[in-house]
Amino acid sequence: MLSTTVINCFKNLKILCIGDIMLDKFLYGDVERISPEAPVPIFKIVKEKSMLGGTGNVIANLASLDVKTMFIGAAGNDDSCVMLEYFLKQTGCEYSLLKSDKYPTTTKIRMIANNNHLIRADKETELKLEHSQIEQFRNFVEQALPKCHIVLVSDYKKGLLTDETTQMVISLCKQYGKKVLVDPKERDFAKYSGADIVKPNLKEFELVSGEKFDTKDPDFKEKIAAAAYKVMEKYEIENLLITLSKDGMLFVPSDKTQEVLHIPAEAKEVYDVSGAGDTSLAVLGASIAAGVYISDAMKLANLASGIVVGKLGTACVSPSELRNAIISENAKGKLSQSLKIVSVDEAVEIAKELKSQNKVIGFTNGCFDVLHLGHIHSFAGAKKECDCLFVGINSDNSVKKIKGEQFPLQDEKTRAYVAASLEFVDYVVLFDEDTALELVKKLNPDVIAKEGFKIENWPEAQYVISQGGRAVELERIEDYSTTAVLNKIDNLKGNGVLNV
């Protein structure tokens, strides 16, 4: 089960991030005149802000989502490193730093006036690892791997992730049975050979494949996939996930029997793309570590990226922002079935959020053992009465109490998944009680709708009315019921038509 469930699962994860960390500084101010000393604008600083950059932004995004993190990287023995360590501690990250007097902590300073970037100044040199540092790096990795769920490698080409150290990480990950996701910078993907997923952007993929692609071409997906298969075969990479900026992302598995997945972008208005790739890597890694299918992990990563590019500067996504984005996507009918199946607590949380947006919450319930036209008609009728329809489904234990040990014919996961596949249904919630009354009290829907029940004999309806809501007695379609379906099956068996 996913939806906002996956966000709640994030707090149980520990993710190891390895890569190039840097300090991001933002100077905000105004430009009102030209300097008398030279024909250049005078930038008047109003405020300053510093934060984790590079792999540090991946860590910050994971921490923002309540994921526990570990980090292995390098920095200089300087004031910028002191600030980095302060920010890392603020996130709760367990970190191991290779420090060097010969290497300044990479620092990027951006000057911004009226939401426009004027200039970026970088302080950096390439790190030259010594043999003793490589051994120390290996020890750091070996100590961290047993404690993590997944490894994210963020390469900014600053010198830490050489061919030797990168292959060392991938080899150790295989040894310890950990998946490794790589955000690359090199043109030669031999460095990332053996990785489970390599996540280049389109420009990076064009460089490594030696081809150019136009996402406006009607067959761009097939062209990119064909090139991706060659790259994966050449460099022995398991899967490629190519980010396409405003055109979303494309997942190409090395197994050609599996589907190539294209997920469109979700950004509504772009203010700043700084760090969007880090956010995408963080959410993708956390989702996969939480057991999410790659298609849904991509959707969540896309939603998160769409949120941060709508903010100015390097930004993170919060659980509430991601949760609300999922709710909004569901309102558009874009969520997969698994994302629509939620726990009772999550349903309550979603209902509260939707009500704050002045959405009308609807509810109906049943066992829905053998879905038929009567059920479809009921769902469609209930949906007409509300903006968002929650469907309560009796758990297997609940059905057995009501109908006997021979029921249900289909387990609760199957029944929930089938119901969630319907366009009329926004969310599915399983409940264990004999009736849906307790669930209704928790959800407190604006309207409850069901066929076959009179309000005076319908406790759930009476409760909703007592809270100022409405109860709707839906019209029943005759001759459609689970019992009728079973009787027909028995008749066919009796006549020798079915042999089951």
Which structure tokens are listed for 323? 């949760």
| Count, residues in the chain | 500
pLDDT above 60 (res 271): no
pLDDT above 60 (res 56): yes
pLDDT above 50 (res 330): yes
Q: For residue 3, name the pLDDT band (cuts at 50, 70, 90).
A: low
- For residue 408, cis peptide bond before it (omega within 30 degrees of 0): yes
Which of these ranges, 51-65, 84-98, 187-201, 313-327, has the smallest mean pLDDT? 313-327
Interatomic CA distance for residues 299 and 140, integer angstroms = 33
DSSP-assigned states of every residue in 321-360:
HHHHHHHHHHHTT-S-HHHHEE-HHHHHHHHHHHHHTTPP
Say whether 99 sits in a helix, a strand or coil. strand
Say what the pLDDT of residue 4 is.
Answer: 64
Rg (CA), the chain: 27
pLDDT tens digits for 106-155?
999 999 998 788 999 999 999 999 999 999 999 999 999 999 999 999 99
Per the CB < 8 A criterion, the answer to whether 301 and 287 are in contact is yes
Q: For residue 264, name the pLDDT band (cuts at 50, 70, 90).
A: confident
Domain ranges within the chain, ordered by starting residue: 4-335, 341-492
Q: Give the CATH architecture of domain 4-335.
A: 3-Layer(aba) Sandwich (3.40)
Q: For residue 482, name the pLDDT band (cuts at 50, 70, 90).
A: low
Q: For residue 8, name the pLDDT band (cuts at 50, 70, 90).
A: confident
pLDDT tens digits for 419-454?
998 988 999 999 999 999 999 999 999 999 998 778
Q: For residue 272, name the pLDDT band (cuts at 50, 70, 90).
A: very low
Q: Report the percent of the chain where pLDDT is more than 90.
A: 65
Handedness of CA 87, 89, 92, 96 (dihedral sign): positive
Which of these ranges, 88-92, 184-188, 312-316, has the smallest mean pLDDT? 312-316
pLDDT tens digits for 381-425?
999 999 999 999 999 999 999 888 888 989 999 999 999 989 889
Catalytic site residues?
Answer: 278
Which of these ranges, 154-163, 312-321, 485-494, has the smallest mean pLDDT? 485-494
Nearest CA-CA partner of 228 in 195, 259, 250, 248: 250
Say what the pLDDT of residue 497 is.
Answer: 54
pLDDT tens digits for 145-181?
999 999 999 999 999 999 999 999 999 999 999 999 9
Say what the pLDDT of residue 477 is.
Answer: 76
Say what the pLDDT of residue 91 is.
Answer: 95
As a whole number, the mean pLDDT across the chain is 88
Say what the pLDDT of residue 145 is.
Answer: 97
Say what the pLDDT of residue 152 is.
Answer: 98
- What DSSP designation does 475 have? P
Q: Point out which residues pair with 112 in neighbouring strands.
A: 28, 117
Which amino acid is located at 305 in the chain?
A: S
CATH code matching the domain that covers 341-492, chosen among 3.20.20.450, 3.40.50.620, 3.30.70.240, 3.40.720.10: 3.40.50.620
Q: How far apart are the first and last CA of the chain?
A: 32
Say what the pLDDT of residue 270 is.
Answer: 44
Q: For residue 282, name the pLDDT band (cuts at 50, 70, 90).
A: very high
Q: For residue 1, name the pLDDT band (cuts at 50, 70, 90).
A: very low
Say what the pLDDT of residue 494 is.
Answer: 59
Phi/psi of residue 220, nearest 5 degrees: -60, -35
From the centroid of its chain, how far is CA 47? 33
Per the CB < 8 A criterion, the answer to whether 198 and 240 are in contact is yes
State mean pLDDT over 200-228.
94
Per the CB < 8 A criterion, the answer to whether 347 and 455 are in contact is no
Which structure tokens are listed for 56? 């540090």
Interatomic CA distance for residues 120 and 27, integer angstroms = 10
Interatomic CA distance for residues 197 and 350, integer angstroms = 32
